[in-house]
Amino acid sequence: MKSLRTIFKYIRKYPGLIATYFTFNIFSAVFGVISLGLLSPFLMLIFKQGDAFKAVTSQGFFNRMNPVNYFKEWLYTMINSPGPGGSIKALMVICIVVFFAILLKNLFAYLSMYFLNPIRNRILNDMRSSMYEKILRLPIGYFSEQRKGDIMSKLSNDLADVEGSTISVLESIFREPITILLFLIYMIILSPQLTLFLLIFLPVSGFILGRIGRSLKKENTRVLQQFGKLFSTIEETLGGIRIIKAFNAEAKIQDKFEKENDAMYQLKNKANRRRDLASPVSEALGITAVLCILWYGGRMVLSSDKSFTLNAGDFLAYIAIFTQLIQPLKGLSNGSYNMQKGAASIERIEGLINEKVEIQEMPGAKILENFKDSIELKNVSFSYEDSAILKNINLIIKKGKTIALVGSSGAGKSTLVDLIPRFIDAGSGEVLIDGINIKNYTLHSIRHQMGIVTQEAILFNDTIASNIGLGKDNASAEEIKNAARIANAEIFIDKKEDSYETNIGDRGMKLSGGERQRLTIARAVLKNPPILILDEATSALDTESERLVQDAINNLMANRTSIVIAHRLSTIRHADEIVVLQKGEIVERGTHDSLLKQNGFYKKLVDMQEVK
């Protein structure tokens, strides 16, 4: 089964733990068989069938294979030894042996579980790490196509399903088969005919249970998909709670949630009913098997045919062993159901882990040590599905120059900028740094040369110092303070009670918009990159905040190669070159003054903003 192959891929990393767990399970099963096997001499002694102990080892191949028969002969000698109380002594010996057998069985069972827990937790940790690593490696375009709630569901709900179902099957896989095998071997020794009868019945039971289990996987896949939708709704609600309240949309959003929640309720009911069917069906089949054994074995006990006979003590011991066999068989049955349930989660997790990473490094990629001359886009085109976003772009950005990209929404400005740090790759054409295609450089070295400040201030639920120091390992407190000073952030940081150790909350919500943006600029200042990308960094701010942020940006841009996406055209008047994009093509380029003289598209954009 595919889900088990996935689990074993992680298990094989820990052969020592698996071998230890397996060994303790064998010892536990052996002592379990011994404790039950001694039921036969106990019953024979109680019912005063002392003669039945005699010479049992000589009665056929299977009797000679039964170690309990040697124990019976020894007890026979003890019972018939000179002096009183032979039977009492034999009874005491049986009780002592059974006591130690049960004690050792449970000791080894505990030790096996002691070593199973770290195996289970290591597998889950490895799967979680693999998913998180893949999330960090996937291109940015992947996250615009996928629901964030569904990705979070895979990291939480799907992993919980794996822990509660497929991983728990490890116990059944490694323990139950050993117990079943040893019990069956001893049952064959006690009565080959009766065991053959039983082995004909068991595959029929397995077929019935298997059909139910396969249907469970389909139902659970639907449950997981619905949970992803529900998680997305919750995530969107938490992120947009201000807008929901502002537009009095609580009832509408609640109604949407209720519909999705009700769909989850219906699907889970259906899946749980299939799952719960496993236990009564397996129990009914088990009881049927017991009744068949009672009928067939009873005939053997009562039969006068010596080739078909079975003594009462061995028959009762056989029944006791079979009743103990039902639990591990039921465990395997439930394990099969759990595996089918967890298989859906495994497939979703594997789908994420095996997701193709489109942005790959070339074998033997070079390290971009320093940016020396220019960035060039040569005949670059980019399409998303069937829609052309960029068409035959040719652009050279010289070191130390400031290039501004302007145009209406959807013109392709952000897409063009995303090509430079290789967030996406061009469909055709080349992006060159210092005359070399960026695909020949390592991703880390390309992005190490760049600092990015976006329109949305992306911050993390951590301290101010940690957010500023994100791009530089082991940044000193003085370096962080200096970066904040250049970004005009020191003004508000010093007013905080905990200064640089102030926690800014989820997405920096404890700060104002201008304060958040100045922290992102301080982060870029600390990294000190030669290439700077500014994606409408001031468009969402009020006038006062914009002035402070713009001053910080001017400080940041000093002596750097800057690529600026501008919404407010007043902020890029002094750019060395302004590139006007429309429908994915460069329609105009030049300085602010030269473009105004052309009386073209740029002039219209300027006039529109002045009217506002």
Report the range of poorest mean pLDDT among 126-130, 235-239, 421-425, 565-569.
235-239
**In 3-state terms, the chain is what percent helix, strand and coil (to 5)?**
65, 10, 20
- Is residue 546 scored above 70 in pLDDT? no
Burial of 468 (0-12, 13-18, 19+ CB in 10 A): buried
pLDDT at 56: 47
Residue 411 binned pLDDT confidence (cut-offs 50, 70, 90) = confident
Query: What is the model's pTM?
Result: 0.67
Query: What pLDDT is recorded for position 67?
Result: 58
pLDDT average, residue stretch 341-356 = 77
Instruction: Answer whether residue 513 shows pLDDT above 60.
Output: yes
Per-residue pLDDT band for 62 (boundaries 50, 70, 90) equals: very low
Longest Cα separation, the chain: 128
Query: Residue 444: which pLDDT band, with cuts at 50, 70 and 90?
Result: confident
Higher per-residue confidence, 336 vs 345: 345
Give the highest mean pLDDT range of 72-76, 163-167, 407-411: 407-411
Q: How far apart are the C-alpha atoms of 119 and 585, rounded to whole Å?
A: 56
Which pLDDT tens digit goes with each residue over 111-134? Answer: 988 888 888 888 888 888 888 888
pLDDT at position 584 over 60: yes
* Each residue's pLDDT tens digit, 446-471: 888 888 887 777 788 888 888 888 87
Residue 542 has pLDDT above 70, yes or no: no
Question: What is the model's pLDDT at position 1?
Answer: 57
pLDDT of residue 107: 93
Would you call 146 helix, strand, or coil by DSSP? Answer: coil
Q: Report CA torsion sign: 509, 513, 519, 524.
A: positive
> What is the pLDDT, as a whole number, of residue 21?
85
The pLDDT confidence band at residue 245, using thresholds 50, 70 and 90, is low
**pLDDT value for 507:** 74
What is the C-alpha separation between 231 and 68, in angstroms, rounded?
Answer: 59
Is 528:536 a contact under the CB 8 Å cutoff? no
Spatial contact of 382 and 391, defined as CB atoms under 8 Å apart: no
pLDDT above 60 for 59: no
| Tens of pLDDT, residues 273-293 | 776 766 677 667 767 777 777
Q: What is the pLDDT of residues 40-49, one digit of tens each?
A: 666 666 665 5
Give the contacts of 358 (CB within 8 A, at least 6 positions apart). Answer: 139, 141, 425
**Residue 494 clears pLDDT 80, i.e. is over it:** yes
pLDDT for 128 equals 84
More confident residue, 485 or 198: 485
Strands 402-406 and 577-582: parallel
- Tell me if 151 sits within 8 A of 353, measured CB to CB: no
* Whole-number pLDDT of residue 79: 57
Strands 531-535 and 561-565: parallel
What's the average model confidence in pLDDT over 581-598? 86
The mean pLDDT of 507-522, rounded to a whole number, is 81
Residue with tokens 């040697």: 70
* N-term to C-term CA, the chain: 65
Give residue 612's pLDDT: 47
Round to whole Å and give the CA distance between 484 and 468. Answer: 8
Q: Count of H helices and E strands in the chain?
A: 23, 10
Whether 55 shows a pLDDT value over 60: the answer reads no
Q: What is the pLDDT of residue 522?
A: 84
Phi-psi region of 375 (alpha: psi -120 to 50; beta: other; left: phi over 0): beta
Mean pLDDT of 249-266: 81
Q: Report the pLDDT value the prediction gives residue 308, as an integer from 0 to 100.
A: 58
Instruction: Report the mean per-residue pLDDT for the chain.
Output: 76
Percent of the chain's residues with pLDDT above 70:
75
Residue with tokens 């709704």: 233
In angstroms, rounded to a whole number, what is the distance separating the alpha carbons of residues 383 and 400?
30
In the chain, what are the domains?
2-117+134-353 (1.20.1560.10), 374-611 (3.40.50.300)
Give the model confidence (pLDDT) of 137-182 as tens digits. Answer: 887 777 767 777 777 778 777 777 777 766 667 677 777 777 788 8
Taking CA 575 as the corner, what is the angle to CA 437 and CA 372, rounded to the nearest 5 degrees? 35
324 or 466, which is more confident: 466
